[in-house]
Structure 1
Amino acid sequence: MSNTGAMDLAFGVGGKIEKVQVLSAVDKYEKYHVLHGGEEEDRKANYTDMVNKYYDLVTSFYEFGWGESFHFAHRWKGESLRESIKRHEHFLALQLGLKPGQKVLDVGCGIGGPLREISRFSSTSITGLNINAYQITRGKELNRIAGVDKTCDFVKADFMKMPFPDNSFDAVYAIEATCHAPDVYGCYKEIYRVLKPGQYFAAYEWCMTDAFDPSNPEHQKIKAEIELGDGLPDIRLTTKCLEALKQAGFEVIWEKDIAVDSVLPWYLPLDTSHFSQSSFRLTAVGRFFTRNMVKAMEYVGIAPKGSLRVQEFLEKAAEGLLAGGKKEIFTPMYFFLARKPASEN
């Protein structure tokens, strides 16, 4: 996992936001969400501001607790979280059939953990698309450290309006990223446009499952907690993602909620009753330590005011994700492999 320490966490909070403005940014971010009186339409209309604020505020927390790859994974017994995350990324690369020398796009790449792993695994050149300037700055530095800065790079842009010509990439993937899109059809249509004919798009999507009951107040509360804690305008049903793919013009090769077949539950790292030495910072003891460390650093002025509030809404997200996973109403790994037809009618 990442070697980032307490001081890196403290100095990273707020990203590109001025430290004195972090608290007001937290206020503005929270007010987008249902649990603070926000509306879905406002989140969709202002998704760029909401998502940018979210990742400026949370990126250093994610890297501190999770490492460089901010996603869950299908997991086997005896496998560490880090090992499962790498295999999850390798699986996607294999499904895409990546070959050395290909030009690949990572849509919503974070700080580039999957990008670096998949590039080294497949000997491909990968462009990471990201709307957040702080994550790109951090990702470029990590690319340099990993020695992939000659073959991998980042572009700051909105995945709803990509700055690439038609038919630019040999493959496209997204890992738990297009869930931030205000309109999934529009996002998939842009991916379709920049992908070369006959080539593949694969993704892991965050979705509500068929077990989700919108009339159930508990289900709605869980959904709202996940949206607040993870910067989401809405969480779509798996069926809506599938419909949008087909409407965008893709041929769906196969699709499945991979969480269903996981030997160990994907939410295990969030379960406070579970102890793991390899992912200590995610355990109950680790979270307690982090919360009090952040509180102390904010009190003495090392971390900006509002840092503890960020830690708190991330913990609220963990509660929502854990409950959603246990009730099987939410999945972070609805997987699909889709193909752009070789010739369009």
Structure 2
Amino acid sequence: MPFPDNSFDAVYAIEATCHAPDAYGCYKEIYRVLKPGQCFAAYEWCMTDSFDPQNQEHQKIKAEIEIGDGLPDIRLTGQCLEALKRAGFEVIWEKDLAAESPVPWYLPLDKNHFSLSSFRLTAVGRFITKNMVKALEYVGLAPKGSQRVQDFLEKAAEGLVDGGRKEIFTPMYFFLARKPHHSESQ
């Protein structure tokens, strides 16, 4: 980043640093620009400890989320913590906030859940959207490839819902980390 060392009083990221292909490199750069004694807080999209890399269904769900949401290899929550510590941060608090949520985070994406405010996300709403995009692309009002993009976004939504239901994916992994007052140069 084009900022001098120790220049920020705080840094936060909401569903952003999960897009970095290298968590350690990303966190290390945040560490560099953060003033000693100050904090970095983030919400990350992560695979949970329930994710089994040997399970074909888990792998399929993970791939759908990655492709549809522009993510590199989605990290496990533990990998985020490890990268933070390697970058020099002291982890103050961390928790998957989705685990104890009274309402499932994926409910608005669940096509089996009906509400007027999220009609477009229901099975009927998605059917209408899919055919509307197809028609608009056919007549030239939507660019070529719009239907293909809509299809992989649909797969991503299905992956998010399946990942949430199986508790193998969370978009709500929160951590608060501090750069020590007397830190060694990374």
TM-score (structure 1 length as normaliser)? 0.52
- How many residues of Structure 1 are paired with residues of Structure 2 in the alignment? 184
1:227 counterpart residue number: 66
Residue 319 of structure 1 deviates from its aligned partner by: 0.9
* 1:258 pairs with 2:97: yes
2:180 counterpart residue number: 341
The correspondence of residues 127-206 of structure 1 with structure 2, limited to 5 A, is 162-206=1-45
Residue 302 of structure 1 deviates from its aligned partner by: 1.1
1:280 counterpart residue number: 119
Within 2, Cα distance between the matches of 1:229 and 1:208? 16
Within 2, Cα distance between the matches of 1:269 and 1:228? 20
Within 2, Cα distance between the matches of 1:295 and 1:254? 47
Q: Secondary structure at the match of 2:99?
A: helix
Residue 224 of structure 1 deviates from its aligned partner by: 1.0
RMSD: 1.2
Higher relative contact order (CA 8 A, sep 6+): 2
The correspondence of residues 284-299 of structure 1 with structure 2, limited to 5 A, is 284-299=123-138
Residue 235 of structure 1 deviates from its aligned partner by: 0.7
Residue 251 of structure 1 deviates from its aligned partner by: 1.1
Residue 203 of structure 1 deviates from its aligned partner by: 0.6
Residue 168 of structure 1 deviates from its aligned partner by: 2.1
Within 2, Cα distance between the matches of 1:276 and 1:168? 46
Residue 281 of structure 1 deviates from its aligned partner by: 2.7
Residue 289 of structure 1 deviates from its aligned partner by: 2.5
Tell me which protein shows more helix as a share of its residues. Answer: 1
Structure 2: 5+ residue runs without aligned partners? none
Q: Secondary structure at the match of 1:200?
A: strand
Within 2, Cα distance between the matches of 1:269 and 1:226? 16
Q: Deviation digits for residues 213-242 of structure 1, max 9, x if unmatched?
A: 111111111111111111112011100100
Q: Deviation digits for residues 75-99 of structure 1, max 9, x if unmatched?
A: xxxxxxxxxxxxxxxxxxxxxxxxx
Hey, which bits of structure 1, 4+ residues long, moved more than 6 A? none
Q: Secondary structure at the match of 2:11?
A: strand
**Structure 2 residue identity aligned to 1:227:** E
Within 2, Cα distance between the matches of 1:339 and 1:284? 44
TM-score (structure 2 length as normaliser)? 0.94
Residue identity (%): 84
Within 2, Cα distance between the matches of 1:296 and 1:218? 33
Q: Secondary structure at the match of 1:173?
A: strand
Within 2, Cα distance between the matches of 1:217 and 1:201? 35
Within 1, Cα distance between the matches of 2:119 and 2:52? 34
Within 2, Cα distance between the matches of 1:218 and 1:339? 37
**Structure 2 residue identity aligned to 1:248:** A
The correspondence of residues 17-166 of structure 1 with structure 2, limited to 5 A, is 162-166=1-5
2:147 counterpart residue number: 308
The verdict on how the C-alpha distance between 1:168 and 1:282 changes in structure 2, with shifts beyond 3 A counting, is: farther
Tell me which protein shows more strand as a share of its residues. Answer: 2
Q: Secondary structure at the match of 1:279?
A: helix
1:328 counterpart residue number: 167
1:74 counterpart residue number: none
**Structure 1 residue identity aligned to 2:167:** E
Q: Deviation digits for residues 168-192 of structure 1, max 9, x if unmatched?
A: 2221111111111111000000111
